Structure 1
Amino acid sequence: MCAVIWTTKTRLGAVFAAAVAVSGALAPAAHGASCRDVDHQGAPYTLCEVDLSAEDLRLFLYDDAGLPFGQFARIDQALEPQGLRLGMAMNAGMYHEDRAPVGHYVEEGTEVMRVITTGGGGNFGLLPNGVFCIGEGRADVIETKAFLAAKPACRHATQSGPMLVIDGALHPRFIKGSDSRYIRNGVGTTADGRRAVFAISQTAVNFYDFGTLYRDVLKLPNALYFDGNISRLYRRGAGGFSLGRPLGPIVGTVERID
């Protein structure tokens, strides 16, 4: 098992190195995502909106040596020699102690983890869960069974759970007024796939309130929960890289260094 895991990590590390080396062909934007602060149900949130037709959005997990990046700063350092940098980044899905993804994970077309369809404990098993798929010029949040049926072409993909909003409806198991509150983060996408909106709460919130932010305020048809408690966001120009618990999958925009 260890040999198989190391082979996968090393192969993905090679993919990352190759992707960085040819990243000029991807035409990264000169600036990052547009971010703003909003209030919802008495709680403050930070929202970052990415236009997939104009910005380069990627997932990151292992470096070119097959080791987990873990921190935003390490990704930024890996991009810098190519004249690139992170514009915005956040944790992007649940992971095991070794930071391997719990669910489906694809980076630059290389599958690291298959789609998981079974339930189980924890938030990932609070079905339905879903997949965040980054394709060419678009990104989509898709419920897992629908994802398997549609088989979309994903350059990057990460599976997490639960879904926050499914085809305009709130996840059926969310409870209004629940006392299960954490700092939470997630992503929602527009129906045309052109925009992805990343959100993180600045104070502890429950699933119901977080879901209604996407359904009622942002009015996005589909949204996916990434994680809670360990949630972090980096925005260029809004302070330096904060250190915290090492992360697994990370999503971020890549931009040119002026």
Structure 2
Amino acid sequence: MKIYFATLALLSLAACEAQPEGEPVVRTRIDGKEGPASAAPPTDPSATVASSVESACRSIIFENTPLTHCLAIPSRHTISMDLAPDGQPPYRSLSSFAKSRDPETIAFAMNAGMFDEEGNPVGYFVEDSERLKALNTAEGEGNFHMNPNGVFYGTGGEWHVRTTADFLANVSERPEFGTQSGPMLVIDGKLHPEITRDGPSRLTRNAVGVDEQGRAHFVISNAPVSFGKIARFYRDELSVKNALFLDGNVSQLWNPATERLDQGAPIGPIVVVKRKASQ
């Protein structure tokens, strides 16, 4: 079966474009009002656009590239995977998925891994504790097979990112959710060994990482970005020791609080971050 990867171009090992050292992150309010936004999720209801519920996402400029950073916190949110309505083909778009959900319950949703021509995951995928696809340890071409790749998974409020080899060796119980993608961006605090500082491949990309407090950081670029830059953002600005690339070019976000609902090429698996009932 032919596999569609949104970022089939291999990461270049050639000389990379120079970037200024130590350039600070500039954060902008997601509602476009004056004044800086804090690094933590906004607590001021005025920071929302579409509702009285605060947005879990904020706009950030990192090394002159606009990013959106969405934060899931175990005490406030739940995480799950969704691929398709019961007994039907995959959603293939966030707009189709959004029609089936109450936006007041959704903090945000994002594409969550690579897929084949029908939109089915090419790697490990668990939804509602049911394994729909086994762990993929095969060799191959493309970003998914650029080892080490990895798995984002969790049960309840315990969320993790591990390399595929680490997951295979140390995770024996099936989680409530899981998705496999690749490559890893950050591994034990170090950048993937084949990622250059700023290689020539520039696409809209998204990724996920979990920090030492157990919070899941989702990032999607709002302009073409290199692997190196998004990996540095996780390592240097978010202090995330393990981060996983999800996809590129098809990367999309639904953030009901700001009425952002991205359109684009067909997607596959979807990660869903919901607000807990008390939030």
Classify 1:240/1:165 alpha carbon distance in 2 versus 1 (closer, same or farther; 3 Å).
closer
In the alignment, which residue of structure 1 is the partner of 2:201? 180
In the alignment, which residue of structure 1 is the partner of 2:261? 241
Are 2:61 and 1:39 equivalent residues in the alignment? Answer: yes
- Return the offset for 1:33: 5.8
Distance 2:244 2:254 in 1: 19
Query: Structure 2: any 5+ residue segments left out of the alignment?
Result: 2-51
Classify 1:32/1:95 alpha carbon distance in 2 versus 1 (closer, same or farther; 3 Å).
farther
CA contact (8 A) 2:53 2:257 kept: no
- Return the offset for 1:240: 4.8
Aligned positions of 1:85-124 closer than 5 A:
85-124=105-144
Identity among equivalent positions (%) equals 37
- Return the offset for 1:176: 1.9
Structure 1 residues 76-123: Cα deviation after superposition (integer angstroms, max 9, x where no partner):
33234xx96432011000000100101000000111111011231110
Q: TM-score when scaled to structure 2?
A: 0.76
Classify 1:100/1:186 alpha carbon distance in 2 versus 1 (closer, same or farther; 3 Å).
same
SS in 2 for 1:237: helix
- Return the offset for 1:31: 5.1
Query: Structure 1: any 5+ residue segments left out of the alignment?
Result: 2-29
CA contact (8 A) 2:94 2:252 kept: no
Classify 1:177/1:137 alpha carbon distance in 2 versus 1 (closer, same or farther; 3 Å).
closer
In the alignment, which residue of structure 1 is the partner of 2:34? none
- Return the offset for 1:241: 2.9
SS in 1 for 2:258: coil
| Equivalent AA in structure 2 for residue 131 of structure 1 | V
Which of 39, 56, 63 aligns to 2:78? It is 56
Aligned positions of 1:1-258 closer than 5 A:
34-80=56-102, 85-151=105-171, 153-192=174-213, 194-255=214-275
- Return the offset for 1:207: 0.8
CA contact (8 A) 2:92 2:268 kept: yes
Structure 1 residues 12-56: Cα deviation after superposition (integer angstroms, max 9, x where no partner):
xxxxxxxxxxxxxxxxxx957621111222211100000023212
SS in 2 for 1:66: coil
- Return the offset for 1:154: 1.2
- Return the offset for 1:167: 0.6
Provide the alpha-carbon RMSD of the alignment.
2.3
CA contact (8 A) 1:33 1:49 kept: no
Q: TM-score when scaled to structure 1?
A: 0.82
SS in 2 for 1:251: strand
Classify 1:211/1:240 alpha carbon distance in 2 versus 1 (closer, same or farther; 3 Å).
closer
Classify 1:37/1:75 alpha carbon distance in 2 versus 1 (closer, same or farther; 3 Å).
same
Number of aligned residue pairs: 227
